[in-house]
Structure 1
Amino acid sequence: QSIYIHSHVETPQGVKRLNGGGIWRFRPETLELEIVCKGFVNPWGHHFDRWGQSFATDGAYGEGINYVFPGSVFVTSPGATRIMSGLNPGSPKHCGLEIVGGGHLPDDWQGSMITNDFRAHRVCRFVVTEDGSGYASRQEVEVIKSSHVAFRPIDVKMGTDGAIYIADWYNPIIQHGEVDFRDERRDHVHGRVWRVTAKGRPTLRTAIAENATVDELLNLLKVSEDWTRLNAKLLLKQHGAEAVLPRLAAWLGSLDAADPNYEHQRLEALWLYECLDSPNAELLAELVKSADHRVRAAAIRTASHWRTRMKAPVVNEYFAAAVRDEHPRVRLEGVRALAEVPSAESAAQALVALDQPMDRFLDFALWQTMRDLQANWLP
């Protein structure tokens, strides 16, 4: 949602409101609608990494890649007294966002974030690495840089062949009204799609068969291509819980604990249970104690989504344990999850995060949680 939009949306859970920019989370089956973050001017790029963490770009502001977590607030949010900055201060506006993954592109490109500087005729690449409870971002050499005034890359996606596809608006004029709408240079007909591949490396064949069985789709949750895993989950959702859940339980039990990707495969299973709106308390209990902090953080996020569907004492215990976790990102997820449990006890539990080192992401998360819970603790 962009800066000039003011939304007042009726849902079964009441009216949800967002003034100015932001990102929503909507569940079609239950019509649940909630705000993930507030702010931005034109948030024209949003993506999840393989561990479920969100990142965004702003096509009308800047600061490169932005790390988005529940309750985060960014520039221009009406009434905001404190905001988060992006990971690349001073960086120009960017449009679209994709995260590189899969077997076609080189290893040193895996996890890179690709976005577009449409004003300067560039397709940009950022390397994002973990930094405490959040991330740090470093811009690398451009994927494409052109002197052609009509090259206007506006969106980017990974294809089923492992290549990068770039949507080029192909227009020398980008302004709203500074140039006459009847100006003959305005091109209403042409546009281009560019395909970027790695020289000397074979492309992939990852398209999912139209008649793929439930078991075949489940096995696709093991592959390295994000596109394939995402669409496999969407197709499994179409099969329905009744057909998928028995096979999912069997698939989960068949996973090899010695596989280096074992924990990620179990996380994919957890997300599929969430996709099917079928909470699995046993799997969740195991993953909140995973040896991998990225899995623990993702599991706490899922627990916050399931908080009204599970026994409150159990879920609240997960949140309290997360705030004491050894890794700051898990602590951040725990702090923000407690904001959804309105009580003075939740505020007290969130403050336990101060017993360990803080950073700017975690500090903002705690500050926001205390504001969210102020009706429960502030005299």
Structure 2
Amino acid sequence: MPQLPSERGPAPVGVKTLEVRDDARAGRTLPVEVWYPAEESHRGQDLDAATLDRFEIAAGLPEMSQQAVRGARPAAGSFPLVFFSHGATSHRRSSAELLTHLASHGYVVASADHVGNTIGDLVHDLQGGRERGEARMTEMDASAANRPLDAVLVLDTLLGGADEEIAPLVDATRVGTCGVSFGGWTSLALNCIDSRPRASFPIVPAWGPGPLKTEALSALVRLEDWGRPLPTFVLAAERDALILLPALRDLHAKLSAPKRMAVLRNAGHVHFVDGAERRHEELRTMWASGQLPITDPDIDFAAVAEASRPFSELCPAAHGAAVVKALCLAHMDAHLKDDPQAANWLAGDLAAEFAAQGIDLEAV
């Protein structure tokens, strides 16, 4: 682990897209993005605007890019596998900065679109108008049932050798999970039904009482069903208007050791995803205007918009990126690579480490 775990690692990063199908769920089919350490011959190509990967997340939305080379030849070796789950109405590449960061440090990383709960589905709803609100809530309930099974499907596919190029890269004995918001909840729920994960890193996970009725989600996860010690690091945002900080403190208190928690002060719900400032203001506008195609009398989106302060009043997006990259990498290094340096760093004074970088962090 480098002195600053938020610094990109030594390996160039490759990326490919797979499609996985679950016949047991009526042929449910998911696109899956896989990032991996690439051959040395690709050095610099993942950072060069002329050769890095570009993609469209939904029809009509602007082209985006990620620091990876599509179809790059894989590096030799066997690497831990990390499964990532995106948030509600998001997409599999929503945290590409974090996921390519992990790959550059020697991880294979996989993230699926949770079909029915992606930004493409949201765009479809917006084009259809508010009459789809009731259906969207139904699909959110369905997504809570599907998401953990989606994760199992991806792990089964990659660990079962279905992809001949990726299979030799994956160390099946070293598996971790992480996710953001609904995806953070997914990583917790997965641990109830799958014993393969050895480390968990939920980021602002949907949990406990809150404006979006997330207590219904936490009721679906019985932490005692994990049935094993599972090192878990909970990352929270102090001014999160969606997932309330007291709920995540309660989650942390209920977890069995080994566990840690960190709170980025003066940060909002989306501080840990790519394009945090843009995404934050898009959501505030949508909530305040009533454009969101969800009609539920128990959810006051205007109040959520008011509680979600303008991004200019919050900490810089770069602070969220530095924190999530450093802590997630160190957690995975400590528990999937048995790296004593990473373990010692995590056990130390994290608040002081980040204060030296001008970042205000509470560590528990």
- Decide: shared fold, TM above 0.5: no
Query: Highest CA radius of gyration, 1 or 2?
Result: 1
Q: Which has the higher helix share?
A: 2
Q: TM-score range by the shorter chain?
A: under 0.3
TM-score (norm 1): 0.26
